[in-house]
Amino acid sequence: MNAYDFKVTARDGSEVSLADYRGKVLLVVNTATGCGFTPQYKDLQELYDAHHEDGLEILDFPCNQFADQAPGTDEEIHTFCTGRFGIKFPQFAKVDVNGENAIPLFKWLTENTSFEGFNGPMGLMLAGVVKKYDKDYKKNGLVKWNFTKFLIDREGNIIGRFEPTLDMKKVREAVEKAL
């Protein structure tokens, strides 16, 4: 099984096969508009601008599972992201990334990766928050917070996972290496 085996829902409700992205490097991200990490949209758009022509696609999946930080409709979220951050990469319908309603793509991503740990001062704060709802958070692959990123190679295989506290320069380095 690889990323190309999954179908996801576009903002307009249509079904999109990830096989449409065959041969591209994918960065799959669960996002939120009211999060302390929301400014990462700027970094993601800069990465997309720099490497889209090299075969990078960033796939944005808004998620409201973490402190209700993506409360709007799909269209409201998209309007915010394009207006505030100028995002041009594909943004899909809002999803669940954990639990019984998690979409199959994220079930696969979390079952086949490990939590990489939090970094820096934000990581210390976030660890305290996450521990309240997931006592074993260090021992499972569930998404812990908004802006967790999964890197998929051109063959559809997972080659990296990046927690939201990781410096975006390190994410960029990994993407550039994959390209």
Range of the domain at 39: 3-178
Residues with a catalytic annotation lie at 35
- For residue 69, what is the domain's CATH number? 3.40.30.10
Structural domains of the chain, count: 1
Contact 33, 81 (CB under 8 A): yes
Q: Which ranges in 52-158 belong to alpha helices (H)?
A: 74-85, 104-111, 120-133
Going by pLDDT thresholds of 50, 70 and 90, the confidence category of residue 62 is very high
Are 69 and 146 spatial neighbours (Cβ–Cβ below 8 Å)? yes
If you average pLDDT over every residue of the chain, what do you get?
Answer: 96
pLDDT digits (tens, 9 = 90+) for 90-110: 999 999 999 999 999 999 999
